[in-house]
């Protein structure tokens, strides 16, 4: 498999996972709004904050209200991490690696792209937005299912797994961060009152409520949910499970060098995270730290498989 | 007759589906009957379904424009064009004969040049050809096949005779659209296809793979084949990806390849460097290797020509094959067939006047109003003039151009090329069509069953190129013997 194709396909998976998770993030926020009593304050700025794109947002909008934030995160082309932008990048990466993927998967992404393009306005009202987000989440799942059922589980598939799981782990940590932010504000005393509603919504967003109930067998509690979503190795969207999938994929790829060792380190790190005594502030630091470690892992992958090309080129340039 | 035929008038041209007086040709009888059985609404539905399928399948081509490159949906007309198998087999023979002769000619040009020595063609024409590559003299590709993939354009005149209009021997495009057109037809006319036996076309990628394997360096048992594309901004990128995918070959860009000191070509993979045996290149000669051709090109691979000359990698089409793509050389193809194969040409050329010949030049300049004049080495319908449609001023200007560089121009009578019913708004109207079959030559020779029919969507227009607004149709080769048996 060409290094260039490996990189394109890895990013394809990242962009699509980002598309799906952006939909999930907005979805959890909207559900909370509808579940919680009117008096509880829930700020839309949090969504901008956990995506680390405050600067860009305020360049284009004055207030972080529902309409502006959802517009910015879902359909704004000027935001490179908006759902629409992610989907456009995913489609473009796919268009340039079509020879490696089943036709049906390309058609699936293309259809989703055409759907979003034709429904950009629908996100301006809640009813339209809910339909829109559902369509995206289902579409992304169809894509994943198609690949799992149609594609050889070979090198290209492994790069898809790498990209998907790095992005997924990162996004799960951001969704957890949202919960921490909502709970940590001093004015959120009332929110704390409804804490179990918050955590239930988080679980639901990650399609994990049923699995949580079967696994934990008690009512929904913050610490249990955090532990479950961080350290469980069986739930597809828990961070430990994502990393374990990354580890498997890396071990099956050629020339993996020092990467398995680094992934084991990361696995150990996640298993030793102790959320029991952590304050909300410490917890946010832990999640930040986790995100930066995932970033390091991404850099290692890039250096190991994708940069082959440039290295050789600079070597020949030197030789010449 | 159904309403959709209301304004159908074939006047003086030959129509591919209809005899005069609304009488379908025997081969198109079932199709016409079926179209008549459909309501206006259901025809419209099929048209919309086809457009949607093209959009969702992402069948596209790239158009260069001032605002950057746009990826456009492939223009497709749902009404197929039909040719009887009996006629087709004759054409097929003619195309094989033609490509064989052309390959003999190219091989001769880079070897003994007997064709020139025997006075069959002036040597000047070869020496002054833009696509003659002196770097290729003395090279002998396997099976003597230089042009492995040829897309010849055929047109039919008002009497029904098929002519070869030109041979595309550099990097001819369109075969992927031919294949996708059939896929769409199967989706939108499944009931119709149940009753008609159409020769299949979907073995082209397998034939292409076979041909490419047959030209691999001899020591290769299971050759590594790649498709070399200039990249996603090329107008035919869709096709490059499509063919790579259908053959299970890698789609590479110049920067993915490297020629090492051992003069072998390698590609950069996640396993490290991997040897490449056959390159189906979709990059023009001039950009293939900056060491030999265009020094500034970043599309190609440094050292590629060295590896090719050393016999370590096969290039398809071979560099230099374009010498036979020259429209002046085209005029000599019938003579090549007689000279190299000792046969009479099966398919006629369109009568061609060479401006390099003083007497013919004189005729061309006097009769410009009736002729089509084309530059020898352009493609895509650029730089030509259609006499009957040109203004007096344009003709005057063109005369100057021709006189300045007569070698670069040929002229042909303006043919009244055939038409085929095409869905325009909600009725069928005759539109001019041509046909591009694809011919492969490696160890064996192969011709697609039919080809890509291109259609001029604008009323009266003769321009069929998709880059200039042309459309396309599915092309059916129908075995009439079989039709009779089932009736």
Distance CA A259, CA A247 (A): 9
- Counting the structural domains of chain A, the total is 2
For chain B, count helices (H), then strands (E).
15, 22
Residue with token string 């009996």? B86
Residue B219 pLDDT: 83
Verify whether the Cβ–Cβ distance A107 to B58 is below 8 Å. yes
Q: Which of A125, A150, A175 is at the close of a domain?
A: A150
Interface test with B, best of A89, A99, A116, A311 (most B CBs within 10 A): A99
Domain identity same for A200 and A165: yes
Q: Does A316 map to a domain?
A: no
Residue in B55, B250, B258 nearest the CB of A2: B250
- Residue of B56, B245, B256 lying closest to A111 (CB–CB): B56
Same structural domain, A186 and A131: no
Judging contacts by C-beta atoms under 8 Å, the chain A residues touching residue B73 are none
Q: Are residues A236 and A294 in the same domain?
A: yes
| B62: pLDDT strictly greater than 90 | no
Burial of B477 (0-12, 13-18, 19+ CB in 10 A): buried
> Among A73, A282, A92, A306, which Cα is nearest to B69's?
A92
- Identify the pLDDT of residue B482: 66
A50 and A7 together in one domain:
yes
- Whether the predicted pLDDT of A72 surpasses 50: yes
* Dist. CA A278–CA A260, nearest whole Å: 30
Q: Domain B353-413, what architecture?
A: 2-Layer Sandwich (3.30)
Q: How far apart are CA B149 and CA B131, in angstroms?
A: 17
Q: Which residues of B touch A95 (CB under 8 A)?
A: 58, 71, 232, 241
Report which of B153, B152, B175 is spatially closest to residue B61, judged by C-alpha positions. Answer: B175
CA quadruple A166, A169, A171, A174: dihedral sign: negative
Domain boundary among A150, A171, A186: A150
Residues A190 and A76 in one domain: no
Judge: A95–B58 Cβ closer than 8 Å, yes or no.
yes
**Residue A179 shares a structural domain with residue A240:** yes
Q: What is the ipTM of this complex?
A: 0.82
A195 and A143 both lie in a single domain: no
Q: What is the pLDDT of residues B419-470, one digit of tens each?
A: 999 998 888 999 999 999 999 999 999 999 999 999 998 888 887 777 677 8
Q: Are residues A167 and A107 in the same domain?
A: no
Q: Is residue A320 part of a domain?
A: no
Domain boundary among A122, A150, A178: A150
Same domain, A110 and A210: no
Do A169 and A146 fall within a single domain? no
Percent of chain A with pLDDT over 70: 93
Set of chain A residues whose Cβ sits within 8 Å of the Cβ of B269: 1-3, 308
Q: Which of B56, B253, B258 sits opposite A107 (nearest CB)?
A: B56
What is the per-residue pLDDT for B379? Answer: 65
pLDDT value, residue B69? 65
d(CA A113, CA A88) in angstroms, rounded, equals 7
The per-residue pLDDT for range A248-284, each reduced to its tens digit, is 999 999 999 888 999 999 999 999 988 877 788 888 8
What pLDDT is recorded for position B67?
63
Q: Position of tokens 């040109």?
A: B390
Residue of A nearest to B249 (CA): A99
Give the closest residue to B485 by CA, choosing from B250, B196, B206, B228: B196
Within-domain flag for A155? no
The pLDDT, as a whole number, for residue B485 is 59
From the CA of B268, how many Å to the nearest CA of chain A? 6
Let me know the angle formed at the C-alpha of B219 by B217 and B221, rounded to the nearest 5 degrees.
Answer: 95
In angstroms, rounded to a whole number, what is the distance separating the alpha carbons of residues A113 and A116?
5
Please give the full DSSP string across A202-237, using - where no structure is assigned: HHHHTT-HHHHHHHH-S---HHHHHHHHHH-SSSTT
- Calpha distance B134→B454 (Å, rounded): 35
* Other Cβ atoms within 10 Å of A152 Cβ, number: 9
Is A174 a domain residue?
Answer: yes
Measure the CA–CA gap between B140 and B218, rounded to whole angstroms: 13
Distance (Å, whole) CA B430 – CA B14: 10
pLDDT (tens digit, 9 = 90+) per residue, A81-100? 999 999 999 999 999 898 89
- pLDDT, tens digit, for every residue of B327-379? 899 999 999 999 999 999 999 999 999 998 999 999 999 999 999 999 887 76
Residues of A in contact with B244 (CB under 8 A): 99
pLDDT value at A317 more than 60: no
The chain-wide mean pLDDT, for chain A, equals 89
| Closest chain A C-alpha to B252 CA, distance in angstroms | 8
The closest CB to that of A254, out of B245, B267, B271, belongs to: B271
Q: What is the pLDDT of residue A314?
A: 40
Range list of β-strands (E), B178-330: 225-228, 250-252, 257-259, 265-269, 272-276, 278-281, 314-316
**pLDDT exceeds 50 at position B203:** yes
Is residue A58 a part of any domain in this protein? yes
pLDDT of A318 > 50? The answer is no
Task: Average the pLDDT over each of A182-191, A283-292, B230-239 and give the range with the smallest value.
Answer: A182-191
Interface of A with B (CB under 8 A): 1-6, 95-96, 98-100, 103, 106-107, 110-111, 114, 155, 253-255, 305, 308-309, 312-313, 316
DSSP code at position B18:
B
Q: Is the pLDDT of residue B61 over 90?
A: no
Please indicate, yes or no, if residue A317 is contained in any of the structural domains.
no
Q: Using an 8 Å Cβ cutoff, are B458 and B469 in contact?
A: yes
Separation of alpha carbons B222 and B206, rounded Å: 15
Span B89-116, average pLDDT: 97
Q: Mark whether A72 and A169 lie in a shared domain.
A: no
Task: Render A250-294 in DSSP notation, one character per residue.
Answer: HHHSTT-TTHHHHHHHHHHHHHT---SS--HHHHHHHHHHHHHHH
User: Taking all residues of chain B, what is their mean pLDDT, rounded to a whole number?
Assistant: 91
Closest CA in chain A for residue B252: A2
Residue A314 lies inside a defined structural domain of this protein: no
Beta strand pairing status for B257-259 and B250-252?
A: unpaired
- The answer to whether A173 touches A181, Cβ cutoff 8 Å, is no
Q: SS3 for B420?
A: strand
Q: Which of B178, B154, B180 is nearest to B168 (CA)?
A: B154
Mean pLDDT computed over A302-320 = 57
d(C-alpha A274, C-alpha B219), whole Å: 62
DSSP state of B146: S
φ/ψ region of B355 (left if φ > 0, alpha if ψ in -120 to 50, else beta) reads: alpha
**What is the predicted pLDDT for the residue at B66?**
60
Q: What range defines the domain where residue A88 resides? A: 1-150
Q: Which residue of B has its CA nearest to A114?
A: B56
Which of A96, A100, A107 faces B232 most closely, judged by CB atoms? A96
Structure token digits, residue A180: 């921490």
Mark yes or no for CB contact A3/B269 under 8 Å.
Answer: yes
Rounded to two decimals, what is the model's pTM?
0.90
pLDDT of residue B26: 92
Q: Are residues A230 and A277 in the same domain?
A: yes
Query: In the structure encoding, which two tokens stand for residue B115, read together?
Result: 């064709």
Chain A residues in contact with B232 by the CB 8 A cut-off are 95-96
pLDDT range class, residue A319, cuts 50, 70, 90: very low
Position A156 in a domain: no
Spell out the alpha helix ranges (H) of B297-438.
304-309, 327-330, 333-336, 358-366, 392-404
Q: Report the pLDDT value the prediction gives residue B194, as an integer from 0 to 100.
A: 85
């Amino acid at each position: 498999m060409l290094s260039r194709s490996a990189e394109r396909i890895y990013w394809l998976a990242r962009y699509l996972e980002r598309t799906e998770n952006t939909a999930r993030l907005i979805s959890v926020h909207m559900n909370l709004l509808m579940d919680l009593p009117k008096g509880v304050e829930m700020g839309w700025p949090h969504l901008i904050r956990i995506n680390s794109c405050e600067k860009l947002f305020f360049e284009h909008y004055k207030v972080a209200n529902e309409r502006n934030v959802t517009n910015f995160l879902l359909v704004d082309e000027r935001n490179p991490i908006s759902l629409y932008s992610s989907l456009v990048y995913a489609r473009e990466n796919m268009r340039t690696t079509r020879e490696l993927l089943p036709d049906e998967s390309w058609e699936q992404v293309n259809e989703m792209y055409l759907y979003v393009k034709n429904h950009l306005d629908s996100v301006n009202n809640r009813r339209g937005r809910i339909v829109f987000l559902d369509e995206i989440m289902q579409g992304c799942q169809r894509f994943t299912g198609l690949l799992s059922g149609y594609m050889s589980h070979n090198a290209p598939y492994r790069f898809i797994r790498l990209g998907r799981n790095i992005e997924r782990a990162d996004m799960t940590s951001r969704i957890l961060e949202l919960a921490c932010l909502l709970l940590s504000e001093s004015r959120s005393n009332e929110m704390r009152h409804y804490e179990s509603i918050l955590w239930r919504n988080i679980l639901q967003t990650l399609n994990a409520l049923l699995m949580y109930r079967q696994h934990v067998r008690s009512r929904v509690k913050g610490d249990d949910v955090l532990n479950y979503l961080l350290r469980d190795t069986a739930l597809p969207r828990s961070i430990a499970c994502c990393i374990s999938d990354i580890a498997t994929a890396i071990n099956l790829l050629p020339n993996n060098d020092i990467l398995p060792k680094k992934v084991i380190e990361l696995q150990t790190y996640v298993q030793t995270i102790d959320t029991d005594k952590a304050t909300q502030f410490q917890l946010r630091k832990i999640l930040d730290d986790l995100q930066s470690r995932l970033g390091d892992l991404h850099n290692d992958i890039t250096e190991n498989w994708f940069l082959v090309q440039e290295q050789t080129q600079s070597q020949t340039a030197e030789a010449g | 007759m159904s309403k959709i035929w209301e304004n159908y008038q074939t006047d003086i041209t030959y129509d591919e589906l209809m005899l005069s007086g609304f009488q379908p040709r025997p081969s198109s009888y079932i199709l016409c009957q079926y179209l008549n059985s459909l309501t206006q609404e259901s025809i419209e539905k099929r048209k919309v379904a086809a457009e949607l399928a093209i959009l969702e399948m992402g069948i596209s081509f790239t158009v260069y424009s001032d605002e950057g490159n746009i990826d456009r949906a492939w223009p497709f007309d749902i009404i197929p064009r039909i040719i009887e198998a009996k006629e087709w087999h004759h054409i097929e023979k003619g195309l094989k004969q033609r490509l064989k002769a052309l390959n003999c000619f190219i091989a001769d040009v880079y070897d003994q040049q007997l064709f020139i020595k025997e006075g069959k063609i002036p040597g000047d024409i070869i020496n002054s050809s833009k696509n003659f590559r002196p770097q290729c003299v003395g090279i002998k590709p396997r099976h003597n096949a230089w042009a492995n993939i040829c897309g010849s354009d055929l047109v039919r005149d008002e009497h029904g005779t098929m002519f070869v209009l030109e041979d595309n021997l550099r990097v001819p495009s369109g075969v992927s659209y031919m294949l996708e057109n059939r896929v769409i037809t199967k989706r939108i006319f499944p009931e119709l296809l149940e009753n008609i036996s159409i020769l299949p076309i979907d073995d082209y990628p397998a034939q292409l793979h076979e041909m490419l394997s047959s030209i691999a360096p001899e020591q290769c048992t299971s050759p590594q084949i790649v498709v070399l594309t200039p990249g996603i901004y090329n107008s035919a990128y869709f096709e490059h990806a499509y063919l790579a995918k259908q053959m299970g070959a890698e789609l590479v860009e110049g920067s993915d390849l490297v020629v090492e000191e051992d003069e072998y070509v390698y590609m950069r993979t996640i396993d490290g460097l991997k040897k490449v045996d056959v390159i189906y290149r979709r990059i023009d000669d001039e950009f293939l290797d900056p060491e030999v051709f265009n020094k500034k090109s970043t599309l190609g691979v440094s050292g590629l020509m060295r590896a090719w000359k050393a016999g370590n990698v096969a290039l398809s089409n071979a560099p230099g094959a374009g010498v036979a793509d020259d429209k002046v050389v085209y005029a000599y193809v019938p003579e090549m067939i007689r000279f190299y194969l000792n046969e009479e040409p099966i398919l006629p050329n369109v009568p061609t006047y060479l401006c390099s010949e003083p007497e013919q030049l004189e005729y061309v300049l006097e009769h410009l109003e009736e002729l089509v004049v084309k530059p020898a080495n352009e493609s895509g319908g650029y730089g030509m003039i259609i006499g009957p449609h040109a203004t007096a001023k344009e003709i005057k200007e063109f005369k100057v151009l021709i006189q300045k560089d007569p070698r670069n121009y040929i002229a042909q009578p303006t043919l009244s090329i055939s038409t085929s019913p095409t869905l325009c708004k909600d009725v069928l109207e005759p539109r001019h069509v041509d046909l591009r079959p694809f011919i492969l030559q490696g160890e064996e020779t192969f011709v697609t069953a039919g080809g890509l029919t291109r259609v001029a969507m604008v009323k009266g227009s003769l321009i069929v190129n998709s880059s200039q607004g042309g459309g396309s149709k599915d092309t059916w080769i129908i075995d009439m013997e079989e039709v009779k048996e089932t009736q």
